[in-house]
Amino acid sequence: MEYSFEGLPLHVLLVHAVIVLTPLVGLLLVVLAAWPAARRVLWLPALVGAVLLVPLGLVTVEAGKWLEARVPEAPLIQQHTGMGEDLTPWLIGVLVVAALIAAWALVERADARRTNSGLSRGLRIGVAAVLVIASLVVAVGSTATLVRIGEAGSRAVWEGTFSEDPLER
């Protein structure tokens, strides 16, 4: 498959979407896990974002492999591409937590429609605590992994290619 758009490697374009959306979806999951009123309203956009993030991450990795085959071999590039697939399990984790939050939002919605609530206060607090911890783990883990991968990619592209001082023009 051709991974370029208008003469630019698609990886360079897609990586920006992954860099923005991964921490954004992770943060949204933390908010939804901790704040029931937000969960009632925003569970679906969070789930859709997480669902889209997985294939976006996979395509970005594939586009990176395509690009790696078209640039000269360099240790920094090999380091970056070797780390690229480390994000995939985290994106799957984000999706799983988003699905759990969505399921809990639907359970809460169904319970709210009943005249006698079947969910105890203890159960609500316990589930919320588990969801907060799970969302924090995937938000921090995915973002930290993304930062490591991005830092390695930035070094591969920019290290030794610019001057610390402005050039004379």
Distance (Å, whole) CA 49 – CA 134: 17
CA distances to 6, 104, 112 from 116, rounded to whole Å, are 60, 18, 9
CB within 8 Å of 106: residues ≥ 6 apart: 43
pLDDT value at position 142?
A: 98
pLDDT value at residue 96: 98
Residue-wise pLDDT tens digits, 52-108: 999 999 999 999 999 999 988 888 889 999 999 999 999 999 999 999 999 999 999
pLDDT grade for 113, boundaries at 50, 70 and 90: confident
Q: Residue 160: what pLDDT?
A: 77
Give the predicted TM-score (pTM) of the model: 0.91
E strand or H helix at 45: helix 36-68
Cβ 33 vs Cβ 94: under 8 Å: no
According to the model, what pLDDT value does residue 158 have? 85
- Contact yes or no for 163/51 (Cβ under 8 A): no
